[in-house]
Chains A and B, each alone.
Chain A
Amino acid sequence: MDSTLLWTLPGLPLAGALILFASGRRASRRFAAGVATGAALLALGVAAWTLAATLSGPGARIVADLGPWFAAGTVGARAVLAADPLTASMAVMVAGVGSLILAFSAGYMDDPEDRPGMARFFAAMDLFLASMLLLVLADDLLLLFVGWEGVGVCSWLLIGYWFREPANAAAGRKAFVVNRIGDAGLVLALALLLGALGPRATLRIPDLQAVLAADPGLLGGGAATVVGLLLLFAATGKSAQIPLYTWLPDAMAGPTPVSALIHAATMVTAGAWLLLRLHFVLALSPAVLGAVATVGAATALWAGLLALFPHDLKRVLAYSTISQLGLLFLGIGVGAATAAYFHLLTHAFFKALLFLAAGSVLHALHHEQDIRRMGGLARRMPWTGAAFLVGFLAIVGFPGFSGFFSKDAVLFAALAAEPTALGAAGFPLPVLLWAAGCLAALLTALYMSRLLLLVFLGRYRGDREPGESGPVLVAPLVVLAALALAGGVLDLPSWIGVEAGWLSSRVGPLLGDAVPAHHGAMEAAFALALALASLAVMAGAWRLWGTGGRGAAAIKALLPSTAAFLAARGRVDELYDAIAVRPARALASALAVRVEDAGVQRLAPGAAALLRAAGTWNGRVLQRGHLPDYALWIALGAGVLVLLAAVG
């Protein structure tokens, strides 16, 4: 295939976005959704074609180079996209899940009062897809950064889509600002990388890998650790990990398809994606790998605990996303990048499914988000209920479902990780991280069971009469349910009898992973033990929240202060408020009073009056419109010139 065709991947959704932004408030929902979904489907076609082309032979790589677009000194940034099995499969996932969610949005965003916003909504969704595909396919780190910032902007646009509600606009701002804090880490990491490499500086990812492979000493003396930690910091922003995860639960203020696309399936994986693409930089420093794994395990556990308490359906799913992304980071940190990528893909399927099923529920309940006023919806919405059940079984790792294989791959890799490399750098032993990951997996079963029991089973506690959603909403659910069910075939484990899974053999080498050793029976035993433990947790959840269960009250009675602490989201927002937001506000108000009011406001009028006086003199005295005056000035000027010539 012609390699420049690769540019149509971000180009098609970008064109859709431009058409929609130009069409403005007149665009109907039908037109806007049609353009946006059409562009996404075309991109999906190109992505699938590209993936097939990259799989045609080992090492097949399609590079589309449009030449330099930015140069500073010896470093030039090229507008270059590259597709290999890793980036192409990710592009297929982004375009595929994006198309499904856009199709769902066509039915979801049907509030007639919302009509003027339709073009804005679908244009931003398409712009997001374009940025995400750019981020995924970019072969140059500066181009990747363009996509990185693009998805951040679209996230802001879409979280605050219903901006007339101040809380929504505030949530969008918070997401943007917290992300920007992480972005600073990426900028610093790139700058340090360029500085450390000196004359061999490059931002092309393959070139960077070659340079560092030839001479790892270039990033010696702790530079590799600093760069790696900065990259990790950048990733914690986009992928909502400790310490920068607080924006994601608030981001649920956006429309539910936005939460599904951006805040579950795609954008939040950008941080993990950055670490996957730059795995060879992380590998230079055991301390960085240890930090990535520790952050991941801690986040998985902490977010799993927080997910037990919210009454907002989407907020529970948001914490669940943070927790699953933590498992991703754990996988990357213990050197199982392929397993992490596997979990990234399956998580995209089942979390998009769960969010869209939640969207179907919210649509039927007229945006009632409180699970205390739900219940018994499985009977009233059988298709949505079945889809949610498939997503539930996938995320808790029920044997045979996609999450079973991917979560097991990550956790088993943590168990099998080389303990010395991490322990030497002063990080907790992998077995501790593994235990935290397993606990997070069991917490997943607990909080997801709570959702399932409170939303879909039991007695309906609301006062509206909800019915099943229409086919436009249900059809994407069915497709995603099939993917969540069967996603495991992407990388079947060896104990099932395959030689090596598809991802492990085709993508693994690109991520620096060796094709995994056969652990056979041991891995099978671990996977089944984890599944059994999850089942036991589900049974416990049934007792807590099932018919007649006392649920939250029982937990509160057991550990009153801990439960209150977790229900208050660990008071992390308050902590950040105290150490960052309030000092900044105090500084700003001090500047406003002391500098602005006392200084600038007094000086500025004087300066303005001076300027006005100068203007008046110029206008009244010089520009009188009297021709002989002008002639006199010209003559005087000419005289001065003649004098100067005579003197010089």
Chain B
Amino acid sequence: MIGLDTMIRELIREEIRRLIRPDALAANGNNSEEDLELRERAAGVATRFKKTRSS
């Protein structure tokens, strides 16, 4: 059975698989409208990963 740490790592692997799919690569550079919202979201979440890793 996988644990929480492995689960987070699997989410990362899944995201990488999604990013390297041909359709995702073709869409690179077309995400400027999302940038501001994504930046704001990403700026506030570092502690979640730290909390997960220490559990």
The yes or no verdict on A and B being binding partners is no
